[in-house]
A = this chain, B = another copy of it.
Amino acid sequence: MADIGARLEEICAGRVLSGDAIGDDYTHDETLGGEPVRPAHVVLPEDADEVAAILKLAAETGTPVTARGSGSGLSGSAVPHPDGILVSFERMNKILEIDTVNHVAVVQPGVTLTELEEATAAVGFVYPVYPGELSASLGGNVNTNAGGMRAIKYGVTRHHVLGLQAALPTGEVIRTGGRFVKASTGYDLTQLIVGSEGTLALVTEAVLKLQPRLAHQATILVPFPDLASVMTAVPKVVGSGLGPLILEYIDALTMGAITYTHDLQLGIPDEIKEKAQAFLVVMLENNSAGRLDEDIETAGELLTELGALDVYSLPGGAARKLVEARENAFYTAKGVGADDIIDTVLPRSSLPEFFTRVLEIAQGNQTLVIGCGHAGDGNVHLAVFQKDPEVRHRVLHELFASGMALGGAISGEHGIGRGKKRHFLELEDPGKIELMRRIKQAFDPQGILNPGVLFD
């Protein structure tokens, strides 16, 4: 491996770490229970040509390559291979352009969501994809197809990636798509690379669609007697044409945990708290404060008709805090000792039945399972408290199998990576897995990109 280190040094002089010089940060992402792995080398390229050169070297020597953005992933797809090269995009962190005519941002993969938020806010636009962790890099977001709370209005990362520059494992640098929302010119390589968890290509630049930044936002918190009524209400709110920006459900236990952890005062009287088994958080946005007030009123009336126990308009500060707390629900779950988390997605019509199954599975395995999630999208985040790895695997298997039987998929936005791979390979249609393997082979004939992620 010394030889590879020296040759990496030729490509990226002074930007190669090997052996003990590799810090702990490079050995893991945020996956619960994931084992840290120290790679043979960490390399910090500064442009696409360097990335391509690294891949050529890797292909020539059969060395595994793993890409790393901010390391905030939850599925282990940025965890390196012990004999491999970790390509960290921390030096490719420039916003190349905020293009206010075509309404796109052109970014390098190491740019964080926070940085993009600041740059777009300055010119009245917004990159509306809003996963919980704002220190995440755009490169990581592209590779996991990150989602988040605003998907109900704007869609997920996939819907905002208009084009890519990417280095292929065969050593070419390609450009896909462009500064336009549509093309029918051969296969959509952009969409194939989005969500591929670093197994098909290394993204070196992304063209991201921006939206006009609307001036006003308002939030209501709506307690319901049970989860089923929340789930009945959700499609009505979406179908109303009010165009909610956020539509989150939080179950009573999770609400307790996040309000306690974040010391949130939401002004809900005890008598309502006692009856409320589930909450809906509805955020609307508008360019006109007057229209926003009217729409919030309309939403409140609609939800009251649909069985809400009450409707609380949250002042800006409290709303922001609640949304932040919800975003950090993962860390809350981690803090109170969750052993794993999942983010199954299913048709929202199937959520009530799924929750019944979740309860049965939890009770049948003496496991605590609590949750919250993107109710509008059918994306359920569950924290699983079960120390025994075998029982935990069974619980997850049963949860995923139930979700899939109800028309769902294993992950809505976290990805499969290494963490959920066993379940993916056990539960997914073998014909599809085989087809995906052949696609992987088409991109990466030598299997150097992220081996062990998605497939064995």
Contact indicator A439/B442 (Cβ below 8 Å): yes
Query: Which chain A residues (131-152) contact chain B, with CB distance < 8 Å?
Result: 144-147, 151-152
Nearest-Cβ distance from residue A286 to partner chain B, whole angstroms: 9
**19 further A-B pairs in the complex, CB-CB below 8 A; given A178-B347, A180-B412, A442-B442:** A145-B184, A147-B182, A147-B184, A155-B159, A158-B188, A172-B431, A177-B409, A180-B346, A180-B378, A182-B377, A184-B412, A184-B413, A186-B416, A186-B433, A187-B440, A188-B194, A189-B436, A192-B192, A435-B443
A143 → chain B, closest Cβ, in Å?
9
**Chain A binding surface SS class:** loop
**Out of B145, B158, B181, B347, which one reaches A377, CB within 8 Å?**
B181
Binds B, one of A96-104, A247-255, A257-265: A96-104
CA distance A121 to B216 in the complex (A): 31
Enumerate 14 A-B pairs (CB-CB under 8 Å) in ascending A order. Answer: A100-B239, A102-B347, A147-B184, A159-B159, A172-B431, A175-B429, A177-B409, A178-B409, A182-B412, A184-B411, A185-B409, A187-B439, A189-B435, A189-B436
Task: State whether A415 touches B184 (Cβ < 8 A).
Answer: yes
Question: What is the total number of copies of this protein in its complex?
Answer: 2
CB 8 Å contact bits of A380-417 with B (1 = contact, 0 = none): 00000000000000000000000000011111111110
Which 3 residue pairs are nearest across A and B when measured between Cβ atoms? Answer: A438-B442, A179-B347, A191-B191
- Give how many A residues have a beta carbon under 8 Å from the other chain's beta carbons: 84
Docked-complex contact A103 and B239, CB < 8 angstroms = yes
Given contacts A103-B239, A408-B180, A443-B435, contact A428 B151 (CB under 8 A): no
Determine which residue in A144, A184, A432 has the highest number of CB atoms from chain B within 10 A of its CB, and name it.
A184
Any chain B CB within 8 A of the CB of A174?
A: yes
Question: Nearest Cβ distance between residue A24 and chain B, in whole angstroms?
Answer: 27
Is B424 a contact of A185 with CB atoms below 8 Å?
yes
Q: For A212, give its contact among B100, B239, B414 (CB under 8 Å).
A: B239
In the complex, are the beta carbons of B168 and A349 less than 8 A apart? Answer: no
Q: How far is the CA of A212 from the CA of B145 in the complex (A)?
A: 26
Across the interface, which residues of B come within 8 angstroms of A38, CB to CB?
Answer: none
CB within 8 Å of B: which of A280-332? 287, 291
* Residue of B with least CB distance to A183: B409
User: Chain B residues near A407 (CB, 8 Å)?
Assistant: 178-179
**Across the two chains, which residue of chain B brings its CB closest to A123?**
B239
Asked if A182 meets B431 with Cβ closer than 8 Å, knowing A103-B239, A188-B191, A442-B439, the reply is no
